[in-house]
Structure 1
Amino acid sequence: MDHTVFEVGVAIGLIALAGLISAKLRFSVIPFYILVGMAVGPHAIQWWHIDLRFIESAPLIEFMGRIGVLFLLFYLGLEFSVGRLIKSGRSIAVGGTIYILINFTLGFLFGWAMQLPIQEILIVAGITTISSSAIVAKVLVDLKRTANSETEMILGIIMFEDVFLAVYISIVSGLVLSGSSSFGGVALSAAIALGFMLFILVVGRKCVPLLNRLLRIRSNELFMLVVFAGLFIVAGFSETIHVAEAIGALLVGLVLAETEHMKRIEHIILPFRDFFGAIFFFSFGLTIDPLSLGGAVWMSLGAVVVTLFGNFVAGMWAGRVAGLSPKASANIGLTIVARGEFSIIMANLAKAGGLLPIIQPFAALYVLILAVLGPLLTKESKAIFGPLDRVFKFTRSYNKRKQAAPQEP
Structure 2
Amino acid sequence: MNHMVFEVGLAIALIAAAGLLSAKLRFSVIPFYILIGMAVGPHALEIWHFDFRFIESAPLIEFMGRIGVLFLLFYLGLEFSVGRLIKSGRSIAVGGTIYILINFTLGVIFAWALGFPLAEILVIAGITTISSSAIVAKVLVDLKRTANPETEMILGIIMFEDVFLAVYISILSGLVLSGSTTLGGVLLSALIALGFMLVLLVAGRKAVPLLNRLLNIRSNELFALVIFAALFLVAGFSETIHVAEAIGALLVGLVLAETEHAKRIEHLIMPFRDFFGAIFFFSFGLTIDPLALGGAVWMSLGAVAITLIGNLAAGLLAGRSAGLPSKASANIGLTIVSRGEFSIIMANLGKAGGLLAVLQPFAALYVLIMAILGPLLTKESKTIYKWMNKVIPFKDASGKKEGKTVLQKEGSG
State TM-score, norm by structure 1.
0.96
Query: How many aligned positions are there?
Result: 399
**Deviation of 1:394 (Å):** 7.6
Alignment partner of 1:53: what SS? Answer: coil
Written as runs of structure 1 = structure 2, the 5 A alignment for 1:253-264 is 253-264=253-264
Offset from partner CA, 1:189-248 (integer Å, 9 cap, x none): 000000000010000000000000000000000000000000000000000000000000
Written as runs of structure 1 = structure 2, the 5 A alignment for 1:5-404 is 5-393=5-393
Q: State how far apart, in whole Å, the 1-side matches of 2:2 and 2:123 are.
A: 40
Identity of aligned residues (%): 82
**Deviation of 1:371 (Å):** 0.2
Q: State how far apart, in whole Å, the 1-side matches of 2:205 and 2:143 are.
A: 28
Q: State how far apart, in whole Å, the 2-side matches of 1:400 and 1:61 are.
A: 53
Q: State how far apart, in whole Å, the 1-side matches of 2:391 and 2:353 are.
A: 47
Q: State how far apart, in whole Å, the 2-side matches of 1:54 and 1:4 are.
A: 8
Alignment partner of 2:146: what SS? Answer: coil
Q: State how far apart, in whole Å, the 2-side matches of 1:378 and 1:358 are.
A: 29
User: Do 2:127 and 2:344's aligned partners in 1 also have CA atoms closer than 8 Å?
Assistant: yes
Corresponding residue of 1:406: none
Alignment partner of 1:115: what SS? Answer: coil
In structure 2, runs of 5+ residues without a counterpart are 402-413
Offset from partner CA, 1:56-114 (integer Å, 9 cap, x none): 11110000000000000000000001101011110000000000000000000001011
Amino acid aligned to 1:226: V
**Deviation of 1:48 (Å):** 2.1
**Deviation of 1:280 (Å):** 0.2
Q: State how far apart, in whole Å, the 2-side matches of 1:320 and 1:237 are.
A: 36
Q: State how far apart, in whole Å, the 2-side matches of 1:260 and 1:346 are.
A: 40
Q: State how far apart, in whole Å, the 1-side matches of 2:394 and 2:131 are.
A: 32
**Deviation of 1:395 (Å):** 7.6
**Deviation of 1:55 (Å):** 1.6
Distance change (3 Å), C-alpha of 1:394 and 1:227: closer
**Deviation of 1:54 (Å):** 1.2
User: Do 2:326 and 2:394's aligned partners in 1 also have CA atoms closer than 8 Å?
Assistant: no
Alignment partner of 1:248: what SS? Answer: helix
Offset from partner CA, 1:8-39 (integer Å, 9 cap, x none): 00000000000000000000000000000001
Q: State how far apart, in whole Å, the 2-side matches of 1:63 and 1:91 are.
A: 35
**Deviation of 1:53 (Å):** 1.0
User: Do 1:41 and 1:55's aligned partners in 2 also have CA atoms closer than 8 Å?
Assistant: no
Amino acid aligned to 1:149: P
Distance change (3 Å), C-alpha of 1:394 and 1:337: closer
User: Do 1:38 and 1:286's aligned partners in 2 also have CA atoms closer than 8 Å?
Assistant: yes
Distance change (3 Å), C-alpha of 1:297 and 1:229: same
Amino acid aligned to 1:29: V
Corresponding residue of 1:407: none
Q: State how far apart, in whole Å, the 1-side matches of 2:57 and 2:325 are.
A: 47
Offset from partner CA, 1:122-161 (integer Å, 9 cap, x none): 0000000000000000000000000000000000000000
Q: State how far apart, in whole Å, the 2-side matches of 1:204 and 1:234 are.
A: 12
Offset from partner CA, 1:171-193 (integer Å, 9 cap, x none): 00000000001111000000000
In structure 1, runs of 5+ residues without a counterpart are 402-409
RMSD: 1.2
Q: Larger deviation: 49-58 or 60-69?
A: 49-58
**Deviation of 1:400 (Å):** 7.6
